[in-house]
């Protein structure tokens, strides 16, 4: 079977995070933490090294660094390199056209500033606004729910004018994707409960009727401006209740006719709910499915299988590549390598099976890796790298 060669296609990484300026690691266990979503100390110490993802990473990195394909040797070679220089080398090797960065995490003072990362990586970089952080800031500044709602609507009045290409919500981590409309009294009560915890300052916004109510303000603004909203869906750290991270919970939001102008991007292939996410992308014109090859840290076969599921049910015009890379440049880098390979292999299967002919498969590869995101996020061609 012929696989489709996508090695020369640059990628728009439609969802990733910043890279830490400090790339020093005191020991191997701390470095391993970069490759797990678990915060249990025993995971990095005893188990991460035996995942399929990590073993593939070690061998691929050994090739890149020119050392033995053993964990100790790779770690020694890795920490021997300057962090900034290594970040540049890996991201340039990944052939990235644009990185769309969730600026909500890690903290901005710890990561390379967005424009500097673009210079280091030789690519375009664009920020996205994390809604829950903006909401927590506004909750600290205003004394009534009405004032917070008004301030939020004002902050989101011109999202692109403020320099953001998209909004992002982590409601799945906080209170679940079953985002509802609440009677006024319940939202008010939730607001006062929040203020009791936060005092005059900040608190984690885990107050469901308050968060849901504020999200609806954001959705109305996003729909009016046709600004994409990314939702964390599925796999994440232990904070997430994976039962409530199922994208099917978004149905009441997706059914609202007045929200049809809001492109909804379901992140992380909704893993393990890829079929459900692909189904939503097949039935709602404004739903898109992100295919992330860094996190959720999978074996190669599992990446093949979610890619088959997505391409098997969703229109290819709805699928977009990402890494969800965070903290270390290895994730952004290996994701681009794996993503091209996996997508090329699945498209090759689809040609062999009669779903596609060869030129269609090649075009689909470019659309998923770059063009769909460039269109959806309105990335103007003149600001993208010339190789793109
Ligand atoms: Zn993310």
The environment of the single-atom ion ligand 1, i.e. residues with CB closer than 5 A, is 324
- Ligand 1 midpoint to CA 320 (Å): 14
Answer for the pair 226, 262: CB distance below 8 angstroms, yes or no: yes
100, 103, 119: which is closest to 111 by C-alpha? 103
- Ligand 1 midpoint to CA 243 (Å): 19
Tell me what pLDDT residue 383 has: 59
- Ligand 1 midpoint to CA 104 (Å): 9
- Ligand 1 midpoint to CA 15 (Å): 6
- Ligand 1 midpoint to CA 263 (Å): 18
- Ligand 1 midpoint to CA 90 (Å): 19
- Ligand 1 midpoint to CA 118 (Å): 18
Answer for the pair 322, 15: CB distance below 8 angstroms, yes or no: yes
- Ligand 1 midpoint to CA 298 (Å): 15
- Ligand 1 midpoint to CA 257 (Å): 28
- Ligand 1 midpoint to CA 67 (Å): 31
- Ligand 1 midpoint to CA 231 (Å): 9
- Ligand 1 midpoint to CA 297 (Å): 13
Tell me what pLDDT residue 387 has: 46
Q: What string of DSSP letters covers 27-86?
A: SHHHHHGGG-S---HHIIIIIGGGSHHHHHHHHHHHHHHTS-SSHHHHHHHHHTS-HHHH
**Residue-wise pLDDT tens for the chain (388 aa)?**
899 999 999 999 999 999 999 999 999 999 999 999 998 989 999 999 999 999 999 999 999 999 999 999 999 999 999 999 999 999 999 999 999 999 999 999 999 999 999 999 999 999 999 999 999 999 999 999 999 999 999 999 999 999 999 999 999 989 999 999 999 999 999 999 999 999 989 999 999 999 999 999 999 999 999 999 999 999 877 777 888 889 999 999 999 999 999 999 999 999 999 999 999 999 999 999 999 999 999 999 999 999 999 999 999 999 999 999 999 999 999 999 999 999 999 999 999 999 999 999 999 999 999 999 999 999 987 655 544 3
- Ligand 1 midpoint to CA 74 (Å): 26
- Ligand 1 midpoint to CA 2 (Å): 33
Tell me what pLDDT residue 235 has: 87
- Ligand 1 midpoint to CA 324 (Å): 5
- Ligand 1 midpoint to CA 357 (Å): 34
Sequence-distant (6+) residues with CB within 8 A of 124 are 97, 98, 99, 118, 379, 383, 384, 385
- Ligand 1 midpoint to CA 363 (Å): 27
Residue 255: both structure tokens together? 């059914």
- Ligand 1 midpoint to CA 271 (Å): 13
């Amino acid at each position: 079977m012929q696989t489709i060669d996508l090695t020369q296609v640059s990628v728009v990484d439609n969802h990733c995070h910043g890279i830490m300026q400090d790339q020093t690691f005191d020991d191997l266990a701390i470095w391993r933490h970069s490759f797990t979503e678990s915060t249990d100390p025993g995971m990095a110490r005893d188990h991460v090294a035996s995942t399929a993802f990590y073993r593939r990473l070690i061998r691929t990195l050994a090739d890149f660094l020119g050392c033995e394909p053993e964990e100790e040797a790779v770690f020694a070679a890795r920490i021997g390199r300057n962090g900034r220089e290594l970040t540049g080398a890996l991201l340039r090797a990944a052939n990235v056209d644009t990185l769309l960065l969730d600026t909500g995490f890690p903290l901005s003072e710890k990561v390379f500033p967005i424009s500097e990362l673009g210079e280091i990586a030789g690519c375009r970089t664009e920020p996205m606004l994390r809604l829950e952080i903006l909401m927590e800031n506004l909750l600290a500044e205003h004394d009534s729910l009405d004032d917070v709602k008004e301030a939020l609507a004002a902050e989101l009045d011109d999202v692109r004018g403020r320099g953001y290409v998209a909004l992002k919500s982590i409601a799945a981590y906080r209170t679940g994707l079953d985002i509802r409309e609440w009677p006024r009294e319940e939202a008010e009560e939730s607001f006062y409960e929040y203020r009791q915890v936060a005092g005059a300052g900040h608190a984690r916004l885990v107050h469901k009727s308050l968060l849901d109510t504020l999200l609806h303000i954001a959705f109305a603004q996003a729909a009016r401006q046709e600004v994409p909203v990314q939702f964390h869906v599925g796999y994440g750290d232990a904070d997430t209740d994976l039962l409530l991270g199922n994208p099917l919970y978004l149905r009441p939001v997706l059914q609202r006719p007045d929200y049809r102008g809001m492109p909804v991007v379901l992140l992380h292939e909704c893993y393990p709910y890829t079929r459900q996410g692909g189904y939503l992308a097949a039935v709602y014109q404004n739903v898109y499915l992100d295919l992330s090859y860094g996190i959720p840290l999978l074996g190669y076969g599992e990446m093949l299988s979610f890619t088959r599921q997505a391409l098997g049910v969703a229109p290819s015009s709805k699928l977009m590549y990402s890494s969800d890379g965070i903290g270390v440049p290895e994730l952004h880098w290996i994701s681009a390598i794996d993503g091209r390979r996996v997508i090329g292999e699945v498209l090759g299967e689809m040609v062999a099976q009669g779903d596609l002919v060869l030129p269609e498969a090649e075009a689909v590869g470019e659309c998923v890796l770059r063009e769909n995101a460039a269109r959806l996020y309105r990335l103007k061609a003149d600001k993208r790298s010339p190789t793109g």
